Amino acid sequence: MSERRPTIDTKARILDVAQDLIQRHGLNAMSFQDLSDAVGIRKASVHHHFASKDVMVNALLERYVADFDKVVQSISTSRASGKTKLKRFCGLFVETLEAGKHEKSCLCGMLAAEMLSLDDEGLELVRRFMRRSVGHIGEMIEAGVNDGSLAEQNDVAGTAEMVLSTLEGGLLVARCDGGPKQLAGVVGRLVMLLSAG
């Protein structure tokens, strides 16, 4: 059977499959052969689009961070209270677990666990995701403090780091045992701890 003629969507399809495999199994458990098998193209065709695994991972990270930023921007610019914005942001991590049938983690969380396998550019992209997420959370906390829906914080940046750490770690724990319901419970308790009154 001859290989299908590649379309302009082949590159995006490779990235879609790579993202799914990394979120489920990790970077080191995924090969270009896995990608070629899943996409239905020759391994050489994967190399045609991405010269190396590092190039592919960096393209994937750039896309993931841009997509995540768009979703977070829509949350941040909504008219909701700071508390509601924070709940919606935290809900993105629960949705990741639900969408993956309890098997997926945050792409950047998975890659952070395998940071020694990333090149400098990939590591910087993961760090950028983490820093930006802390910044977004901090802005939501400040909005909640200002509108009275969240309690005053002595160290907003430190609290934002704690929230992100809880989300990334909580996702891994819930993925292993408890699923989305458990993570949703953790998110609920976390937001309650930060709530005013």
pLDDT of amino acid 7: 52
The CB density around residue 19, as the number of other CB atoms within 10 Å, is 18
Instruction: Give the residue extent of every domain in the chain.
Output: 52-194
Tell me the mean pLDDT in the region 184-189: 96
The pLDDT value recorded for residue 100 is 66
pLDDT at position 45 over 50: yes
Q: How many residues comprise the chain?
A: 197
Classify residue 172 as left (phi > 0), alpha (psi -120 to 50) or beta.
alpha
2 pLDDT higher than 90: no
Structure token digits, residue 97: 């677990």
Q: What is the percentage of the chain residues whose pLDDT exceeds 70?
A: 95
Average pLDDT over residues 122-143: 97
Q: What is the CATH number of domain 52-194?
A: 1.10.357.10
Choice between 131 and 3, residue whose per-residue pLDDT is larger: 131
Whole-number percent of the chain with pLDDT over 90: 89
pLDDT digits 0-9 by tens, 75-112:
999 999 999 999 999 999 999 999 867 789 999 999 99
pLDDT band per the 50, 70, 90 thresholds, residue 8:
low
More confident residue, 99 or 31: 31
**pLDDT score recorded for residue 1:** 36
Q: Kindly report the average pLDDT of the chain as a whole number.
A: 93
